[in-house]
Amino acid sequence: IFMIELYSKTALRDNVIFLGISETPDKLSRFIDKIEYTLYYTKQTWDEAFETCLSQNGTLAKVTREVIHSLVQMMGEEDYEVYHVWIGGRLDERGMDFKWVEDNEIITKQTGGIDYYPPWYDVEFNTKYPCLNMDRENHNRPIFYGVDCSRAQEFICEQKSTRGHNHFGDADIFDEEIEARMF
């Protein structure tokens, strides 16, 4: 996977614009509250993403109030920004509620205010869009909504960890290990 990157000082010669080419990483991992979250840059359908997470002894991320802003920050951390990711919610058979696949917990429908959780775009769900997506509005505001599961996009997996880590952004002894996982 490659990303075209336009440098601020673009060379122009004979009416040709020269672009730099930089390789996009496969994934980015961070520890947040003793859970490892991995953002995969490879686009997959929701079911493929779910299987990829399982193969890594994890699950699609359960995005809680405590980690939501850290995950949104992670989506915009690298040169290759991500605006849409699969997360671990599915619409129930009745089309009434989204549930976290990790534990079948219903994701509430409450709305109101700029910092409300969960950050639903719309609380009227459509069975044509049964897989949960998280977007970044204006680079830093998370939004949840259902999407067609066959759409390929980036995704976030989570893996519970028994090792002690500090909160996201704090320096700890595993910083070098985390940086080494950035491919």
Domains, the chain: 25-180 (3.10.100.10)
**Strands 20-23 and 27-32, sheet pairing:** unpaired
Question: What average pLDDT does range 63-90 have in this prediction?
Answer: 93
Question: What average pLDDT does range 126-152 have in this prediction?
Answer: 94
Does residue 64 register a pLDDT over 60? Answer: yes
With a CB cutoff of 8 Å and minimum separation 6, the contacts of 178 are 29, 30, 31
Output the pLDDT for position 19: 42
Does residue 78 register a pLDDT over 70? Answer: yes
Both structure tokens of 155: 């995704």
Higher pLDDT, 112 or 41: 41
Phi, psi of 61 (to 5 degrees): -60, 135
Does residue 153 register a pLDDT over 60? Answer: yes
Higher pLDDT, 12 or 55: 55
Three-state DSSP state, 149:
coil
Band the pLDDT of 122: cuts 50, 70, 90. confident
Output the pLDDT for position 139: 81
Total count of residues recorded for the chain: 183
Three-state DSSP state, 75:
helix
Question: Alpha carbon of 27 to those of 7, 45, 139: distances in Å?
Answer: 23, 16, 19
Contact (Cβ atoms closer than 8 angstroms) between residue 37 and residue 67: yes
pLDDT digits (tens, 9 = 90+) for 12-53: 334 444 344 445 679 999 999 899 999 999 999 999 999 999
Task: Give the count of beta carbons closer than 10 Å to the beta carbon of residue 124.
Answer: 7
Output the pLDDT for position 84: 95
Give the angle 12-16-4 at the CA atoms, nearest 5°: 90
